[in-house]
Amino acid sequence: MVESLSFSDTFEPNFRPLVAIELAKGTKEETIEWFTKRIVDKKANGGAQLLVKPLVTENGGENIYLVGASHLRLLLGAEAVGLVKECNDNSMRTFTYSSRKTFKDFADDNHNFLTMSECQYIIKHELENLRAKDEKMIPGYPQAKLYPGKSIVRRLLTNGILVQIFPLHDREELKKLRHSWYGRVKVGYQPLDEIRCYFGETIALYFGFLEYFTFALIPMAVIGIPYYVFAWEDYDKYVMFATFNLLWSTVILEVWKRICAIMTYRWGTLLMKRQFEEPRPGFHGVLGINPVTGREEPVYSSIKRQIRIYLVSLPFVCLCLYFSLYVMMIYFDLEQWALDYHEENESNFSSLMLFVPSIIYAVVIEIMNRVYRYAAEFLTSWENHRLESSYQNHLILKVLVFNFLNCFASLFYIAFVLFDMKLLRQSLATLLITSQILNQFAESLLPYWLQKRHKKRMKKHMCSLKTDMDLSLVEQVNLEKEMGTYFGTFDDYLELFLQFGYVSLFSCVYPLAAVFAVLNNITEIYSDALKMCRVYKRPFAEPTANIGVWQLAFETMSVISVVTNCILIGMSPQVNALFPDSKMDLILTVALAEHLLLAIKFIMAFVIPDKPRDIQIKLAKLEFESLEALKQQVRTTDVTTTTV
């Protein structure tokens, strides 16, 4: 970290607001003064050395502050967060201020060298790493304790003094992006690089995955259609379809890794070493020295974390899973009871009663999901992960397993306990289609409509009839601060994951699933795009090199689907008819086929390299250069030492 920026950096003539901070109404004057002073203060004094301006509104409620930074400060911040940019020789390198001239498109007066989302990410990083020094509490709030190394912003947030921090939209850029993303009628790829520039890598990668996944499902859908149209029920055709699906899903997941590597290499995040970053703001521990980077930061024992994960979180998750299964069994009992009741005394009331178990079950599942999600967030936060990615992965894994069970347990029960293929096909179709429609409605169309209404009311309230483009900064900030917050890609990935489950787990029972999935995903791209651009506050960009634990989740799903499909084929009457004499031969044949398929899957996953060869070479080259530089440096240091 270079802390040597002293030359006239506190005043910048053209202040460009990047991030808005909303404080609670009635925040004490001394707190505001202390907080803004810490933000503006020199790095050497433990400040963030950013620029702050209060947003002066008509009614004078001065509880919103705009944060910006000088161009120089942003460049130094880019070095601190370890941004990777393209050099003049087309290689990707970690940006440093002193080597700035070697980077492509760099010029001292080119303020577009860093994208706006990168600038906002830098400011977020600097604000979050504003840590307490010798303050014992937040001035004006004696109950808000501080200790050395505690993130100030986090303490302000948990104490409700700070309401929110959010990056501002760039109306001009957003309009351009909207146009090229979903404004044109022309069908084409999404402008992923532009999305990345505006929303950051995590969101661009989600849209990239969504698009890739949709394309990858098309062969499945195309092959699935004739099965539905001609009502093919032949044994060999089903086996062929299932086999193709199972191997295909391995191929698409392996190929995605390669595509992801190509994209994130171009974006620089593949080379970003996030593990060397400063810890996430929620991370706490005794102030110590990081053994890897040698920087002063909170330190927390990895063994303690392991104990928390394996002795508390893991048993808790298992218990919840058991409870969820138990609830499902009660539901099936209730269903049976309602059916019996209806058969015994047939009446209007009894046929109404038939729906009661399903409704109760749906409500209970929804409640369980919410409670569990809250508990999972609490536990993962309590596990105290140092890196945001590690926190996310552990949280996702916890929620994933529970959702998987809730979604598919009843289908598994119908398939492998009740052996009712008709009911399975019917439930599958109902679940898939209704969940897709509901999701699209609840996720973007409803919020969009609410948003529109709210905006209209706001505008009327402000008595302004200007167009979207002419909104003043005050109006823009006031509008955006009321918009919903986008809580990350979790729910979007979860939706895709469950969809992949519907498509692959029982693919040989319902070949049409892939068709619905493709249709849904095409509209999903547009509704998600609308959601990002119109409904939510702009989210902070989050650099990422891959889709993290989702890759593992999709791969696990594809392994499980080998097992389920083999069993389903083994249970089908057509296949049973082939082995009239002995069930044993049938089961052994199915088991053999399953093992063969699994073996092929694992060999394929092993043989297909995760990164294309040219990316591998580029990474190796960088590693080689790093090692050579280290040798060189030791040499230089040595020479210096011996000279002195």
Record the tokens describing residue 538, joined without a space: 């702009």
- By CB under 8 A, name the one of 215, 228, 232, 276 that touches a copy of itself: 276
Rounded Cα–Cα distance for residues 248 and 223 (Å): 12
Rounded Cα–Cα distance for residues 340 and 260 (Å): 54
Rounded Cα–Cα distance for residues 110 and 96 (Å): 16
Q: What are phi and psi of 130, to 5 degrees?
A: -75, 105
Rounded Cα–Cα distance for residues 391 and 526 (Å): 30
Rounded Cα–Cα distance for residues 516 and 606 (Å): 31
When the beta carbons of 374 and 624 are compared against a copy of itself, the nearer one is 624
Grouping H, G, I as helix, E, B as strand and the rest as coil, residue 64 is: strand
- By CB under 8 A, name the one of 157, 474, 563, 600 that touches a copy of itself: 563
When the beta carbons of 146 and 562 are compared against a copy of itself, the nearer one is 562
Tokens 């539901």, residue located: 331
Record the tokens describing residue 267, joined without a space: 């974006």
- By CB under 8 A, name the one of 8, 613, 640, 644 that touches a copy of itself: 613
- Polymer length in residues for the chain: 644
Residue type, 8: S
When the beta carbons of 423 and 634 are compared against a copy of itself, the nearer one is 634
Q: Find the helix packing angle between 549-571 and 388-416, rounded to 10°.
A: 10
631 binds a copy of itself, rule: CB under 8 A: yes
When the beta carbons of 319 and 620 are compared against a copy of itself, the nearer one is 620
Residue type, 192: L
Beta bridge partners of 162: 23
629 binds a copy of itself, rule: CB under 8 A: yes
Minimum CB distance to a copy of itself, residue 300 (Å): 13
Interacting span for a copy of itself (CB under 8 A) from 105-113, 132-140, 156-164, 630-638: 630-638
When the beta carbons of 89 and 343 are compared against a copy of itself, the nearer one is 89
Interacting span for a copy of itself (CB under 8 A) from 54-62, 428-436, 495-503, 619-627: 619-627
Rounded Cα–Cα distance for residues 13 and 361 (Å): 61
Q: What are phi and psi of 144, to 5 degrees?
A: -90, 90
- By CB under 8 A, name the one of 229, 359, 469, 584 that touches a copy of itself: 584
Record the tokens describing residue 197, joined without a space: 């520039």
Rounded Cα–Cα distance for residues 242 and 221 (Å): 12
576 binds a copy of itself, rule: CB under 8 A: no
1 binds a copy of itself, rule: CB under 8 A: no
Closest listed residue to residue 70, CA positions, set 2, 22, 123: 123
Record the tokens describing residue 554, joined without a space: 């999709």
Minimum CB distance to a copy of itself, residue 170 (Å): 30
Minimum CB distance to a copy of itself, residue 627 (Å): 6
- By CB under 8 A, name the one of 53, 179, 466, 621 that touches a copy of itself: 621
Interacting span for a copy of itself (CB under 8 A) from 98-106, 363-371, 476-484, 509-517: 98-106
Record the tokens describing residue 194, joined without a space: 């532009």
- In order, the DSSP letters of 205-262 are HHHHHHHHHHHHHHHHHHHHHHHHHTT---HHHHHHHHHHHHHHHHHHHHHHHHHHHH
- By CB under 8 A, name the one of 3, 108, 233, 623 that touches a copy of itself: 623
- By CB under 8 A, name the one of 185, 187, 231, 292 that touches a copy of itself: 292
Minimum CB distance to a copy of itself, residue 429 (Å): 28
Record the tokens describing residue 451, joined without a space: 């948003």
348 binds a copy of itself, rule: CB under 8 A: no
620 binds a copy of itself, rule: CB under 8 A: yes
Of residues 254-273, those binding a copy of itself (CB under 8 A): 273
Binding residues vs a copy of itself (CB under 8 A): 93-94, 96, 98-99, 101-102, 273, 275-276, 291-293, 302, 563, 583-584, 587-588, 591, 595, 613, 617, 620-627, 629-639, 642
